[in-house]
Amino acid sequence: MSLDFRQLLRQVTAALGEQEAWLVGGAVRDLLLGRATKDIDIAVAGDALATARGVADRLGGAFVPLDEAHQIARVVLARSGGWWLDFSTLRGGVDEDLARRDCTINAMAVPLAAALQPGWESQLQDPLGGRRDLRDRLLRAASDTAFGADPARLLRVIRLAAQLDFAVEPGTRLLLRRDAALLGSVAPERLRDELCLLLATPRAYWALRELDALGILARLLPELEPARGVGQPSEHHWDVFDHLLHAVEAAGAVLGQGAPPWVSPEALAPLPRPPELAGYFEGVWGGVPRGTLLKLAALLHDVAKPETKAPDAKGRIRFLGHPALGARRAEACLKRLRFSGAATELTCALILHHLRPTQMSHQVIPSDRAIYRYYRDLGEAAIPALYLTCADWLATRGPSLETEPWLGYLRRVEHVLDQYLYRPERVSPTPLVDGNDLMAVFDLPPGPLIGRLLAAVREAQGAGEAATRSQALQVAARALERWGT
């Protein structure tokens, strides 16, 4: 246990006084595994809501009632390192309470005060054999009613297995398959949170395959179902459905979470990872880490291909318009799951523009003008779109990845990133003139024309064609002449 963890337990124990309290669930599991944890579950005898409110007042935290009917509340200690303390009321004895939990490795408890003492494991309550399952690296349901009691556990068990790199016990798999239909009763916010936690793990691809095999994925993301078995042109190694799942796997590789078995580490080594972007994908956007949104976009980026599949005049299969339609389909999906507006907007922008990096130019290295337009049009999505296209490229070719085209694209990514990192005056140039300048010099009235002229000037700056006020005004004059104004 870390010093911070011990200090926190001492403070909570002091705040509770003589009240019976047990450290339960994931905190006990993580202590036994030697894993760091920020989420602490405490079961108390008596009113958990009143207890949590008192602890929040004593420790200067925020009190959040989670389920008043079942006496569950949270204390958030944001200023003390981001700890979450979840309090619940013991129903019956501690063994009865543990029997109602989701899986055996979360059905262990130790008296809260004892958790501070050496040899605390001797006081461990483990009625369901959770410690044995920890040793065997197994996820086992605590009872055959575990998922009926809380269907969100259908996702939670697979997510935990992915996070811990555990297997799911065969009997538990039968229960998951039996109860899959119950997922529809779960609040969208809880589905969203579990999906995000699942996608964040390096084993996200495995978890999605497990959910699919158990009949849960189709209920979580019905938008994926039409993609199953939809064939693609010969350059694609997998059909649309498998391509989407492998794109998540490839996105994990792009994020540095390990190479899939079908991609050599050597192929991933040249991926541009500039130090200036260290921590970029761990950063949060709209309440979700960017890396998780990258995987979410990878999972949904071709979701409209089944609707747009059609032969062209030469009989070749095309999916014309699938990025735009896919962005609309994804938007409806993410709104249903209650993603924030910012997270939804970024994910849909990635889907809308997922082909843009490969379409910037016929040359490996795009022009300055093309790069300016790319950053202008994509905004916050510009950098993750470069990496999404890397994942899409890998999941398109699969084991048949050709080295030279792939390395050529990576050279493009590196060059486009370099412009953003080292030549910001080209990507987002400082204005040389404003609307008042243009109106005064060219005797123009206010209106949309001024905006068009300013855009033309900024693009010329991005292309390296205007670096002074005089040059900017020359650009505007030529634009007025072209437009016949």
Supply the pLDDT for residue 131.
96
Among left, alpha and beta (phi > 0; psi -120 to 50; other), residue 484 is left
In the block, residue with structure tokens 């249903």: 336
Judged on CB neighbours under 10 Å (0-12, 13-18, 19+), 347 is buried
Supply the pLDDT for residue 39.
76
Judged on CB neighbours under 10 Å (0-12, 13-18, 19+), 267 is middle
Give 74's strand partners: 64, 86
Q: Which fold has domain 137-220?
A: Hydrophobic Seed Protein (1.10.110)
What does the block give as tokens for 18? 């003589």
Cα–Cα distance, 78 to 265 (Å, whole number): 39
Cα–Cα distance, 449 to 431 (Å, whole number): 17
**Nearest 10 degrees: CA dihedral of 413, 396, 322, 416?**
0
Cα–Cα distance, 212 to 215 (Å, whole number): 5
In the block, residue with structure tokens 């995987």: 295
In the block, residue with structure tokens 């009872």: 143
DSSP conformation letters of 103-125 = BGGG--EEETTGGGSTTGGGG-B
Residue 237 amino acid letter: H
Supply the pLDDT for residue 405.
93
User: Any residues with CB less than 8 A from the CB of 149 and at least 6 apart, and which?
Assistant: 100
Among left, alpha and beta (phi > 0; psi -120 to 50; other), residue 25 is left
Instruction: Report pLDDT digits (tens) over 430-472.
Output: 899 999 988 998 888 999 999 999 999 899 988 888 889 999 8
Q: Which fold has domain 226-427?
A: Hypothetical protein af1432 (1.10.3210)
Relative to beta strand 310-311, strand 317-318 is antiparallel
Cα–Cα distance, 343 to 74 (Å, whole number): 25
In the block, residue with structure tokens 């619940």: 88
Cα–Cα distance, 125 to 98 (Å, whole number): 9
Supply the pLDDT for residue 342.
97
Q: Which fold has domain 1-130?
A: Beta Polymerase; domain 2 (3.30.460)
Nearest to 433 by CA among 473, 387, 475: 473
Give 21's strand partners: 44
Report domain extents, the chain: 1-130, 137-220, 226-427, 435-482
The helix or strand, by DSSP H or E, that contains position 328, with its residue range, turns out to be helix 322-336
Question: Which sign, positive or negative, has the C-alpha torsion 102, 173, 294, 337?
Answer: negative
What is the chain's length? 485
Are the folds of 137-220 and 226-427 the same?
no
Q: In 323-392, at which residue ranges do the beta strands (DSSP E only) sit? A: none
What does the block give as tokens for 370? 């093309």
Cα–Cα distance, 102 to 109 (Å, whole number): 14
The helix or strand, by DSSP H or E, that contains position 55, with its residue range, turns out to be helix 48-59
Nearest to 219 by CA among 157, 168, 152, 165: 152
Q: What does the DSSP 8-state code read for residue 230?
A: -
pLDDT by position in tens, the chain (length 485): 444 777 888 888 888 888 899 999 888 999 899 887 777 899 999 899 999 999 999 888 899 888 877 788 888 887 766 788 899 998 888 999 899 999 999 999 999 888 878 888 899 999 999 999 999 999 999 999 999 999 999 999 999 999 999 999 999 999 999 999 999 999 999 999 999 999 999 999 999 999 999 999 999 999 999 999 999 998 999 999 999 999 999 999 999 999 999 999 999 999 999 999 999 999 999 999 999 999 999 999 999 999 999 998 888 889 999 999 999 999 999 999 999 999 999 999 999 999 999 998 888 899 999 999 999 999 999 999 999 999 999 999 999 999 999 999 999 999 999 999 999 888 888 899 999 988 998 888 999 999 999 999 899 988 888 889 999 899 889 988 888 76
Q: What does the DSSP 8-state code read for residue 141?
A: B
Instruction: Report pLDDT digits (tens) over 360-383.
Output: 888 889 999 999 999 999 999 999
